[in-house]
A and B are shown apart, each in its own frame.
Chain A
């Protein structure tokens, strides 16, 4: 059904006529790339365990129309901190009345549309430059069809104290619609910030498709914590791609929670472009029913003396399906690389399953690289320990499951985000907080 999207591209080109030539070229090459590639199939190694036919088989309409979202609707997703800088997009379109961008020294948080008018040269330098438009057919489609998105820029040496929140919310009007949100995050020299990227829904049964791309550029000595929260409708599809580009002495700390979507895929790629950079990737997937949650991560160790540390966990219940693929590439020049990857899965039912694949390609000889994957059930001895203290068997299992999740949750350094996600996980697992 790629024609649907080719038509949407053509329909947008009238609007696009006013765009700068570089952006028109970018979009054109992206749609051409998508047309050539088409949707991935099971023969494509990168998509072997994640059939996208259910997405490709639907002719999703372009986002548009009006949806009414009130501040009260949004309130449950704001971590109890409505005062944070926040850009809200409803079904892909910027919602200024729900957004809040108090003047903060060193911080620019605005839309790509505004930035395109105000400082197009910055977008030209970065947009589509960190993630290759043809990284996947989905990133190509996002690049071709994305209508708007967020620009977050943290000036050199600025320390932004409260998190910056990008909220992509879907409503009942999104049913049958494809949304291609875009985010560009520029962290300049020695700047520090916390970024929260939320995909949430007000229509838990709606079937829509979110296809976001996020590009993050981290200059020398910068630090960010990036929390990505995917809570789409469980009937929806999500195909996200995040690309981070890191320069010398930068520190990227990521936490990814995936619990929504019928089929939800996220690629998180980070490139360590200069010596002494560090990436910490934590992930937690919670799937039940017939959900498929897929995490693909890639760490490119392109330079010496860099560290990466990754822990991804999945809790799979009912007939759900988890996929994890973790690649680490160590270039010949990248000596003294220290990379560790861990993938742990808890299967709560006999019909849940995981496909996990660590993939280390190491071309340097003086490195320390390890990986480990475990798949298991709850430990009966811990269960008995809890029961022997008076906790009923069913609740004991839930507490054990929570404990498994909490080990990654506690790595989130922002306390309000950590607390909010802790509440969310307790609610999902049926444990008391």
Chain B
């Protein structure tokens, strides 16, 4: 079976600054990949480039998702094709309720797939059925999107959105940053409950602790825009013990 995602020699920049410098990554359905690396290594950029963030320009290589080159697709087309980015800093949209926002997204995706749209009442039922996953009560659906939410609430909201939109490829961009232990548990439990043989997760994180909860099949270390080491989940523990210098130093030595 063809991989879900295949990244070949990807190069990308923000403005004049080259950030990804020839990156290779293959993700199959059913897998969880962790992308680790020091600050500035390009790991968040990787997630955002896959989602189509307009701040980045692809200057070389390709991102093949389900056999299609993503560079040709608008961000919304990528989402409609099943890609989901859980933002490191989810955006506040005062004036629009969670229910409205998610229904708009859900129905646009259904429309793009030639499926029937859900009316507000049926959608609300669907939304409420997913609240337990993030341990929320029904009042959340009428709150404005992320407006005045704590850091932990914003991340839980990303997981709730993911539960509704059911992506094939979910990119979690530092979803663990700024979370207390309780929120971390809720977020991780949510992700684990949503894991299926036909979807995959790319978990971008600076720290090993999230990976105690969301256990990866593969761990990749990113440094200076390239993957410098790949391994199993034990690689994360090794990194935790030895620090990133262990590998980033290795890059300099080999360069």
- 13 contacts across the A-B interface (CB closer than 8 A): A379-B91, A382-B93, A385-B91, A386-B104, A387-B74, A388-B51, A390-B105, A390-B106, A390-B108, A390-B109, A399-B96, A405-B95, A432-B104
**Do the beta carbons of B93 and A410 come within 8 Å of each other?**
no
Q: Contact between A392 and B76 (Cβ–Cβ < 8 Å)?
A: yes
Given A391-B105, A393-B74, A400-B93, A384-B54 contact (CB < 8 Å)? yes
Q: Which residue of the partner chain A has the closest CB to B117?
A: A432
The answer, yes or no, to whether B161 is at the interface (CB within 8 Å) is yes
User: Complex formed: what's the CA distance from A383 to B57 in Å?
Assistant: 18
In the complex, chain A residues whose CB is within 8 Å of the CB of B106: 390
The smallest beta-carbon distance between A394 and chain B, in angstroms, is 10
Which 10 residue pairs spanning A and B have beta carbons closest together?
A403-B95, A406-B95, A389-B105, A390-B79, A387-B75, A385-B91, A390-B109, A407-B95, A403-B96, A387-B76
Contact of A391 (CB < 8 Å), options: B52, B53, B104: B104
Question: Is B104 touching A395 in the complex (CB atoms < 8 A)?
Answer: yes
Contact with A along B89-103 (1 / 0, CB 8 A): 011011110000110
Q: What separation, in Å, do the CA atoms of A432 and B93 have in the docked complex?
A: 17
CA A400 – CA B101 in complex, angstroms? 10
- Asked if A381 lies at the interface with its beta carbon under 8 angstroms from chain B, I say yes
CB <8 Å contact, A393 and B95: no
Q: Are A407 and B94 in contact (CB under 8 A)?
A: yes
**For chain A residues 400-431, which have a beta carbon within 8 Å of chain B?**
400, 402-407, 410
Having A384-B52, A392-B108, one finds 9 other A-B pairs with CB under 8 Å, namely: A386-B101, A388-B51, A388-B52, A388-B84, A388-B87, A390-B80, A392-B74, A399-B104, A432-B107
With CB as the reference atom, state the residue of chain B lying closest to A404: B95
Q: Find A384's partner among B53, B109, B161 (CB 8 Å cutoff).
A: B53
Q: Which residues of B contact A387 (CB under 8 A)?
A: 52, 74-76, 79
How far, in angstroms, from A341 to B78 measured CA to CA in the complex? 42
Task: Let me know if A410 and B109 touch, CB within 8 A.
Answer: no
Pick the contact of B54: A380, A395, A407, A432 (CB < 8 A).
A380
Interface centre among A380, A387, A395 (most CB of B within 10 A): A387
Give the Cβ gap from B162 to chain A, nearest Cβ, in Å.
10
Q: Is B112 an interface residue (CB 8 A)?
A: yes
Task: Report Cα–Cα, A380/B108, bound state, in Å.
Answer: 19
How long is the Cα–Cα vector from A380 to B54 in the complex, in angstroms? 9
Task: Give the residues in chain A near B112, CB-CB below 8 Å.
Answer: 390
Compute how far the CA of A393 lies from the CA of B101 in the bound complex, rounded to whole angstroms. Answer: 14
With A390-B165, A393-B74 as contacts: A406 and B51 at CB distance below 8 Å: no
Nearest to B79 among chain A residues (CB) is A390
Q: Which residues of B contact A388 (CB under 8 A)?
A: 51-53, 75-76, 78-79, 84-85, 87
Whether B165 contacts A381 by the Cβ 8 Å rule is no
Known: A380-B54, A395-B104, A395-B108. A389 touches B95 (CB 8 A): no
* Contacting residues, chain B, for A402 (C-beta < 8 A): 95-96
How distant is A422 from chain B, measured CB to nearest CB, in Å? Answer: 11
What's the least CB distance linking A10 to chain B, in Å? 52
- B101-128 toward A: CB 8 Å interface, digit per residue (1/0)? 1101111110010000000000000000
Question: Which chain A residues border B75 with CB–CB below 8 Å?
Answer: 384, 387-388
* CB neighbours of A407 from chain B (8 A): 94-95
Contact check, A406 vs B96: say whether CB atoms are below 8 A apart. Answer: yes
A385 to B165: give the CA distance in the assembly, Å. 14
Contact with A along B204-233 (1 / 0, CB 8 A): 000000000000000000000000000000
- Kindly state the separation between the CA atoms of A391 and B93 in the bound complex, as whole angstroms: 14
Chain A positions within 8 Å of B53 at CB level: 384, 388
**Do the beta carbons of B54 and A385 come within 8 Å of each other?**
no
Q: How far is the CB of B236 from chain A (nearest CB, A)?
A: 27
In the assembled complex, the CB of B253 is this many whole angstroms from the nearest CB of chain A, namely 38
Picked from A380, A385, A392, A410, the residue with its CB within 8 Å of the CB of B87 is A385
How many whole Å from B166's CB to the nearest CB in chain A?
11
B107 to chain A, nearest CB (A): 8
Nearest chain A residue, comparing its CB with the CB of B110: A390
